[in-house]
């Protein structure tokens, strides 16, 4: 399972290196949170072996796993991916290869609105308090610290490019990343 930085060219390079030495029956899985699985596989000799295997943080606690079928992913690779998910005791769902898949697209829209109210001047603590009644497993901004603001920014930028009318990029989040901070509270 590849889990390098969210940059398509880096992931393609890693997959090319792994494909050169991996046995023919091995699937190549990526933990990308927003990049196209099909594009990752596009330069490989066997793109049918590539699947998305997107975990959620904290991985040890959250059971959901998005399995992403690329344009050329074959049924055997999907079956193997679902088998591995079962062994890991994960609840696997098959999702389409689309920008940020399903969960991150929904989460980024939600997080974007929280960041928008902060960008408009709402204190961070007030924004956090306002979503407490939703009963989330953790505060959205704590989740952002856990996954890393750079990943959050990358997903926001990816979705903004794909759907500019629906997704914004928070100037405050960009500033947090540029400053090298771990989150809004640091």
Catalytic residue annotation: 54
Whether residue 37 has a cis bond before it, omega within 30° of 0: no
């Amino acid at each position: 399972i590849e889990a390098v930085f969210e940059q398509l060219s880096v992931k393609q390079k890693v997959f090319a290196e792994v494909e050169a030495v991996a046995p023919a029956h091995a699937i190549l899985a990526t933990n990308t949170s927003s990049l196209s699985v099909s594009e990752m596989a596009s330069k490989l000799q066997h793109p049918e072996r590539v699947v998305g295997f997107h975990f959620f943080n904290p991985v040890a606690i959250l059971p959901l796993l998005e399995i992403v079928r690329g344009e050329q992913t074959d049924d055997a690779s999907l079956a193997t991916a679902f088998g591995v998910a079962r062994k890991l005791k994960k609840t696997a769902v098959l999702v389409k290869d689309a920008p940020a898949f399903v969960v991150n697209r929904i989460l980024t829209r939600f997080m974007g609105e929280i960041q928008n109210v902060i960008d408009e001047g709402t204190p961070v603590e007030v924004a956090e308090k306002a979503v407490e009644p939703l009963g989330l497993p953790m505060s959205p901004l704590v989740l952002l610290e856990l996954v890393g603001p750079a990943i959050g920014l990358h997903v926001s930028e990816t979705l903004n490019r794909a759907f500019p009318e629906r997704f914004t990029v928070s100037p405050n989040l960009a500033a947090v990343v540029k400053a090298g901070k771990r989150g809004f509270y640091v």
